[in-house]
Structure 1
Amino acid sequence: MFTCINQSCGTQWQLSDVVIKDEGQGPLFRCALCGARNYLKRVETKDGRVIYKQIEGKPLK
C-alpha cells in the first residue's frame, strides 16, 4: 500500500490503483486526487519479481 505524501491529501493507494512511470527522476506515481509526485524504489527480489517501495522525498542521483 502506498500513501500520498501531500499532507493535505494522504490518500492510500494499492499497487493496482497507481500507474508507475519514470519522469526523469526515477520511478514514481502521481496521486490521482491531488497530482503529487510520490517517489518509489524499484527492487528485484531473489526470485526475479519486481516490487516497488515508497521513499520519502526525491531520490538522490
Structure 2
Amino acid sequence: MCPPIGALLRYRTRIVRVIAEARGQRAMIESLDTTGRTFVSTVKWGSLREFGAQLF
C-alpha cells in the first residue's frame, strides 16, 4: 500500500513528505536540498521508512 498523503517518512538520510501516489508502486515525495530549496522526486514505496522511536 502507498503511504498516506502528507505522511512524514525517512528516505535514505532525508526526512520527506509524501505528496502523491505515482505509478508502479512509487510515491512522489517532497524534501529540502542542502540549500533549503524544496524539490519533488519519485521513489519506490519500499525505500520509504518510518521514523521509529526517534525523529532526528
Q: Give the TM-score band, short-chain normalised.
A: 0.3 to 0.5
Question: Which has the bigger relative contact order, CA under 8 A and spacing at least 6?
Answer: 2
Q: What's the TM-score once normalised by structure 2's chain length?
A: 0.37
Q: What's the TM-score once normalised by structure 1's chain length?
A: 0.35
- The structure number with the bigger radius of gyration is 1
> Which structure shows the higher strand fraction?
2
